[in-house]
Amino acid sequence: MGVLGGKVVVVTGGARGQGAAEVAALAEAGATVVATDVLEPVDERKDVTYRQLDVCDADGWQRLAAELPVVHALINNAGVAGRERLPHVGLDTWNRTFAVNVTGPLLGIQALVPAMPPGSSIINVCSVAALSGHVAAAYTASKWALRGLTRTASLELGARGIRVNAVLPGLIETPLMESASPAFRAAALAEIPLGRTGTVADIAPLMVFLVSDASAYMSGAELVVDGGLTGHVSHKGIADAIGGRA
């Protein structure tokens, strides 16, 4: 059965990159996984159920909830970058970034919590950008907001026996990272004590742990996976290195 045998897990942004790696790890650990995304999966697994879902669509969330009589975990992984820098931040970029990165997780929680029994787990994927200032204004502010939503949810849902935790990845090699400028990559890499960017394989096992009963007494936690980057906080150096480019 595996460590997650009998558990139903919903993963947003599960078609590619970090989300796809999480989906694979969860399925291999025995979970029944429902992977949602606005994109088609690159490598579709036969042991995973795929559903198209825009996390900003409240009705879409309700339709998904109607398909699932029970849910043991929700991983709010879907996110967008929003890299425009102050003062040149477009309102459309700002609103879209908050819609996906903050409202999406809220809608998921609202839709699926009624189906969650005691012992269930919600994991919000934040970012190290939620620990300090960062030049991508909309992205940073949205991840700080998601971090706050995580704390509030851990308080409100604890009485139901539902755990809520945040995972804060650093620079992970995903399609999102591929779109970063070479200047950003070089400057950031120089500041990572472990001397490398992360891979999706550095994140996926943590998701399995947080869904599993081995983390039964963890809630409201913020787990940083960044190779030591925020151990010394160097975002101003990165910002200076990339000049006016995000």
> For residue 138, which phi and psi values (nearest 5 degrees)?
-65, -45
What confidence score (pLDDT) does residue 149 get?
Answer: 98
pLDDT at 246 over 50: no
- What average pLDDT does this structure show over 216-220? 98
What confidence score (pLDDT) does residue 34 get?
Answer: 98
pLDDT digits (tens, 9 = 90+) for 19-63: 999 999 999 999 999 999 999 998 899 999 999 999 999 999 999
pLDDT at 244 over 70: no
pTM equals: 0.93
- What average pLDDT does this structure show over 217-226? 98
Of the candidates 61, 98, 139, 144, the residue annotated as catalytic is: 139
What confidence score (pLDDT) does residue 239 get?
Answer: 75
pLDDT at 1 over 90: no
- Token readout for 32 is 């029944």
Amino acid identity, residue 116?
Answer: M
Nearest 5°: CA angle at 150, between 208 and 111? 80
What confidence score (pLDDT) does residue 32 get?
Answer: 98
190 C-beta neighbours (distance < 10 Å), count: 12
186 CB contacts (<8 Å, ≥6 apart)? 241
pLDDT digits (tens, 9 = 90+) for 63-78: 999 999 999 999 999 9
The rounded mean pLDDT for the chain is 94
pLDDT at 235 over 90: no
Single out the residue of 73, 89, 63 nearest to residue 33, CA to CA: 73
217 belongs to the catalytic site: no
pLDDT at 242 over 80: no
pLDDT digits (tens, 9 = 90+) for 133-187: 888 999 999 999 999 999 999 999 999 999 999 999 999 998 777 877 888 888 8
78 C-beta neighbours (distance < 10 Å), count: 25
